[in-house]
């Protein structure tokens, strides 16, 4: 018995020592690309949110391809279901993989504390798009995996049945279209995915699509985003009106993301506001349900500036190298290979960060119709993040839109004006607190 | 105590016995020291676990509550009492306790039901063990699974509506979508889940009452209600007091069922969900820690007041 107790003591002491010794200093060494692939070696761990691709062996295939160029590097994958929640907490330690996706709620200003610099913005922007979003003080810390265009994923056959074949040009036309879908087909015209929450936060990516203004995000630092005529005012009003006119699901609190894919494929749902990354998933759902994947289509936000539609290219996760990684060269090799050579963004119907890559096929209707794809300026992102935090509005969280929907369907007090006024007031207080 | 010291004495027995008195007396203080140390050696592992997983995190939380830490950044600054000032100057942060009132009502119902079933099933009832199993079973299911099951159960036109229609109550209700209904639905789930635990506690206590008491009571002509009123309730009083404290602290810190089922949407947000949102949505870990400390203090306060009103009964032998 005593021996057991002593073993326990030894274990406890070892654990305490291990914890105490973990705290070595942060290294600021850059992760540079090696010139000779055969000389790079080491074992690296890649953190990913794509549990599906790790489980079905797709990632392993990528690793196999990679090993042909870099035979000395072993790649291990760690798929994390609750990526955001788990990785953020792991970042309190040094053990957060060698290559990882930067969690969304890491403030941009903190990037240098966690990630190895990848090079100067001037150099990397010659080859890559969307460099701004990972740049702090002219050093790049993250490279965008792919960008998605934003729009309504809709069931083309269903809308045709309702007599709507042209893309609506104004929010009013769009609402009329939804109404036609409801009246003529009986389907749920617009699905909010209220219960899962994150699809609601995607509506913020409509910012910029309405006025086609690349400064839409930077303007949030100084202006009121919910003032009349501003992008978020138009976007949130559209959502509010659709819910108020009962053009969305009846009980939003019991929605289900996985089911919604099936429903849109079989014509039970008319449209959902999402990124273009969702198109291949919906098409796959259509194939599974025995429908034609061609019925799934994509339309831009119903608003035109200067006679053409606009869609904001919204960068997805960024790849970064852990600044504590002992194998930075190997990590950088994987990162470069994955972005440049793997073809990962094309399979996800995403816009590749590599300038020379073509647009994905799902966006062909966009380019045919002359939809302008714009990239927002991100020079004020640190400040905007801060204002968002101080104001507790949560432009990247679903909460305020859940509240908006509750008000619209009569489950909470207020009206559209009171909701928007409340948002404006809170944002303004946040601006003052962050200044 | 005796078995420990005897096992210690057995230790040196294998070696040569001490021959002279001088040696013997030199060993004595050492043995006493060992004797005093032995219970601590046994406590070492549980204490290490307790300190690592309870006290260190709590102390950390209290430290964080005085900082502006965002939960990720390696740097933070001490801001003194700023977080506490913010909590007490924002009354909307305490409005969420309204939701706790529903769970408090449910807890009363839960204790009454548990007491009823425990009493009925402690007497000779047909299929006693089957019913015991059925009542305790929900407590064994994982909370996440319960959340998902009831999510389907409460869907518009879902299981619950279908069952109600069998009884002639038509119409589709938004059990989770209607702000007037959502807290009743969630509190109902919580009763369903936790009643089994109370039931088992009460059942155990009832079964430990000497059967002679019932026998004597029956000879005196007491009916079942009188037996319940004068034998069962008095012997359960300490347990009912304890259950009430657990119920109240549970109501103030309701978390998993509403978080899984609604994510705090509508009118179903509780204090803990609000704290989680502060910490992980808005990265205000300092403020959230302060909110957690406030909740801890409130619960300790409630328990203390309750102990004052219902004093603990000491066992006198």
Give the relative orientation of helices B97-122 and B128-140 as an angle to the nearest 10 degrees.
160
CB pairs under 8 A between A and B: 97
Q: Give the closest-approach CA distance of A364 to chain B in angstroms.
A: 36
Cβ contacts of A113 on chain B, cutoff 8 Å: 73-75
Structure tokens at A149: 């265009």
Asked whether the predicted pLDDT for residue A380 surpasses 70, the reply is yes
Of residues B42 and B19, more confidence is placed in B42
Structure tokens at A377: 């300026």
Nearest one of A99, A88, A106 to A143, comparing CA atoms: A99
Q: Give the closest-approach CA distance of A9 to chain B in angstroms.
A: 7
Asked whether the predicted pLDDT for residue A270 surpasses 90, the reply is yes
Nearest CA in chain A to B149: A254
Nearest CA in chain B to A393: B282
| Closest CB from B42, B75, B266 relative to A406 | B266
How far apart are alpha carbons A291 and A309 in whole angstroms?
29
Structure tokens at B66: 């005085």
Asked whether the predicted pLDDT for residue B7 surpasses 80, the reply is no
The ranges assigned to domains in chain A are 37-144+317-358, 148-313+379-434
**Mean pLDDT of the residues in chain A:** 87
How far apart are alpha carbons B249 and A289 in whole angstroms?
48
Structure tokens at A212: 């086609």
Q: pLDDT tens across B43-95, in order?
A: 999 999 999 999 999 999 999 999 998 888 878 889 989 999 999 999 888 88
Question: What pLDDT sits at residue B313?
Answer: 63
How far apart are alpha carbons B158 and A373 in whole angstroms?
43
Q: Which CATH class is domain A37-144+317-358?
A: alpha beta
**Mapping DSSP to helix (H, G, I), strand (E, B) and coil, where does residue B58 land?**
helix
Nearest CA in chain A to B154: A254
Of residues A3 and B35, more confidence is placed in B35
Question: What pLDDT sits at residue B38?
Answer: 86
**Mapping DSSP to helix (H, G, I), strand (E, B) and coil, where does residue B311 land?**
coil
Kindly determine whether residue B263 and residue A195, on different chains, have CB atoms separated by under 8 Å: yes
Kindly determine whether residue A8 and residue B72, on different chains, have CB atoms separated by under 8 Å: no
Matching residue, tokens 């966009």? A366
Nearest CA in chain B to A404: B266
Question: What pLDDT sits at residue B170?
Answer: 74
Strand A42-48 versus strand A73-79 pairing type:
parallel
Task: Please count the helices (runs of H) and the strands (runs of E) in chain B.
Answer: 15, 0
Q: In the predicted model, what is the mean pLDDT of residues B226-249?
A: 88
Question: What pLDDT sits at residue B316?
Answer: 58
How far apart are alpha carbons B235 and B313 in whole angstroms?
11
Q: B18 pLDDT band (50/70/90 cuts)?
A: very low
Same CATH topology for A37-144+317-358 and A148-313+379-434: the answer is: yes
Cβ contacts of A251 on chain B, cutoff 8 Å: 155-156, 174, 176-177
| ipTM of the shown complex | 0.75
Looking at chain B from residue 146 to 185, which residues have their Cβ under 8 Å from any Cβ of chain A?
A: 151-152, 154-156, 158, 172, 174, 176-179, 182
Asked whether the predicted pLDDT for residue A239 surpasses 90, the reply is yes
Written as one string, the DSSP assignment of B175-219 is: TTTSTTTHHHHHHHHHHHHHHHHHHHHHHHHHHTS-HHHHHHHHH
Q: Give the closest-approach CA distance of A248 to chain B in angstroms.
A: 13
Asked whether the predicted pLDDT for residue A415 surpasses 90, the reply is yes
How far apart are alpha carbons A317 and A323 in whole angstroms?
18
What architecture (CATH level 2) is domain A148-313+379-434?
3-Layer(aba) Sandwich (3.40)
Asked whether the predicted pLDDT for residue B173 surpasses 90, the reply is no
For the ranges A330-334, B13-17, B273-277, the lowest mean pLDDT is seen at B13-17
Structure tokens at A208: 């910029």
Kindly determine whether residue A113 and residue B151, on different chains, have CB atoms separated by under 8 Å: no
Residue A397, class by beta-carbon neighbours within 10 Å (0-12 exposed, 13-18 middle, 19+ buried)? buried
Strand A73-79 versus strand A372-374 pairing type:
unpaired
Q: pLDDT tens across B189-237, in order?
A: 999 999 999 999 999 999 898 889 988 998 998 888 898 899 998 888 8
Chain A interface with B: residues with Cβ < 8 Å: 1-2, 5-6, 8-9, 12, 26, 85, 88, 91-92, 105-107, 110, 113, 194-195, 197, 250-254, 388-389, 392, 394, 397, 399, 402, 406, 409, 411-412
Question: What pLDDT sits at residue A236?
Answer: 96
| Closest CB from B41, B267, B282 relative to A394 | B282
Question: What pLDDT sits at residue A17?
Answer: 40
For the ranges A93-102, A198-207, A215-224, B308-317, the lowest mean pLDDT is seen at B308-317
How far apart are alpha carbons A179 and A187 in whole angstroms?
10
The pTM assigned to this predicted structure is 0.80
């Amino acid at each position: 018995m005593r021996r057991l107790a002593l073993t326990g003591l030894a274990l406890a002491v070892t654990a305490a020592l291990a914890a105490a010794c973990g705290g070595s200093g942060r290294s600021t060494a850059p992760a540079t690309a090696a010139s000779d692939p055969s000389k790079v070696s080491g074992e690296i761990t890649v953190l990913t949110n794509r549990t599906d691709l790790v489980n079905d062996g797709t990632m392993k295939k990528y690793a196999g391809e990679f090993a042909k160029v870099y035979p000395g590097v072993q790649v291990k994958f760690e798929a994390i279901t609750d990526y955001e929640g788990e990785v953020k907490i792991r970042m309190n330690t040094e053990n957060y993989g060698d290559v990882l996706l930067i969690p969304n709620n890491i403030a941009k200003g903190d990037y240098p504390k966690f990630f190895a610099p990848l090079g100067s913005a001037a150099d990397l922007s010659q080859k890559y798009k969307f460099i701004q979003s990972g740049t702090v003080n002219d050093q790049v810390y993250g490279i965008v995996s792919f960008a998605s265009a934003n729009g309504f994923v809709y069931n083309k056959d269903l809308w045709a049945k309702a007599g709507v074949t042209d893309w609506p040009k104004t929010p009013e036309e769009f609402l009329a279209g939804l109404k036609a879908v409801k009246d003529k087909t009986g389907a749920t015209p617009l699905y909010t995915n209220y219960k899962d929450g994150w699809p609601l936060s995607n509506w913020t990516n409509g910012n910029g699509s309405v006025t086609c203004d690349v400064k839409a995000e930077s303007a949030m630092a100084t202006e009121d985003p919910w003032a009349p005529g501003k992008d978020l005012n138009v976007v949130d009003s559209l959502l509010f009106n659709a819910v108020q006119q009962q053009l969305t699901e009846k009980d939003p609190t019991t929605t289900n993301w996985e089911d919604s894919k099936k429903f849109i494929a079989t014509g039970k749902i008319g449209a959902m506001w999402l990124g273009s990354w969702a198109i291949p998933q919906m098409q796959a759902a259509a194939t599974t349900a025995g429908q034609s994947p061609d019925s799934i289509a994509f339309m831009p936000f119903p608003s035109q500036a200067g006679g053409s539609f606009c869609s904001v290219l919204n960068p997805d996760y960024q790849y970064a190298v852990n600044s504590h990684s002992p194998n930075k060269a190997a990590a950088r090799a994987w990162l470069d290979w994955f972005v440049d050579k793997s073809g990962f963004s094309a399979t996800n119907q995403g816009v590749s960060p590599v300038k020379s890559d073509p647009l994905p096929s799902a966006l062909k209707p966009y380019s045919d119709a002359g939809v302008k794809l714009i990239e927002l300026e991100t020079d004020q992102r640190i400040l905007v993040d801060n204002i968002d935090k101080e104001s507790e509005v949560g432009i990247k969280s679903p909460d305020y839109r859940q509240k908006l929907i509750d008000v619209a369907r009569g489950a909470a007090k207020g009206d559209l004006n009171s909701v928007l006024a409340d948002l404006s007031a809170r944002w303004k207080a946040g601006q003052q607190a962050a200044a | 105590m005796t078995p420990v010291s005897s096992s210690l004495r057995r230790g040196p027995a294998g070696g040569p016995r001490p021959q002279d008195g001088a040696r013997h007396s030199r060993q004595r203080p050492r043995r006493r020291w060992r004797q005093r140390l032995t219970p601590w050696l046994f406590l070492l592992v549980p204490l290490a676990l307790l300190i690592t997983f309870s006290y260190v995190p709590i102390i950390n939380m209290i430290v964080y509550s005085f900082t502006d830490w965002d939960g990720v950044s390696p740097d933070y600054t001490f801001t003194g009492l700023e977080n506490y000032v913010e909590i007490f100057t924002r009354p909307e942060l305490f409005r969420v306790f309204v939701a706790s009132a529903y769970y408090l009502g449910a807890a009363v119902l839960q204790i009454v039901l548990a007491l009823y079933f425990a009493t009925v099933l402690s007497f000779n009832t047909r299929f006693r063990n089957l019913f015991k199993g059925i009542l305790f079973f929900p407590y064994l299911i994982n909370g996440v699974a319960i959340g998902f099951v009831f999510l389907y159960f409460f869907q518009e036109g879902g299981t619950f509506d279908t069952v109600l229609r069998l009884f002639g109550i038509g119409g589709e209700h938004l059990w989770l979508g209607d702000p007037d209904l959502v807290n009743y639905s969630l509190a109902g789930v919580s009763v369903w889940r936790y009643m089994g635990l109370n039931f088992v506690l009460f059942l155990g206590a009832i079964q430990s009452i000497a059967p002679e008491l019932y026998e004597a009571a029956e000879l005196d002509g007491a009916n079942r209600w009188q037996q319940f009123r004068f034998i069962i309730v008095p012997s359960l009083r300490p347990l009912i007091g304890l259950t009430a404290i657990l119920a109240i602290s549970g109501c103030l810190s309701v978390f998993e069922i509403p978080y899984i089922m609604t994510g705090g949407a509508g009118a179903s947000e509780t204090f803990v969900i609000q704290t989680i949102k502060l910490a992980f949505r808005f990265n205000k870990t300092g403020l959230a820690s302060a909110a957690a400390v406030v909740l801890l203090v409130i619960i300790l306060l409630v328990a203390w007041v309750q102990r004052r009103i219902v004093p603990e009964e000491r066992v006198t032998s």
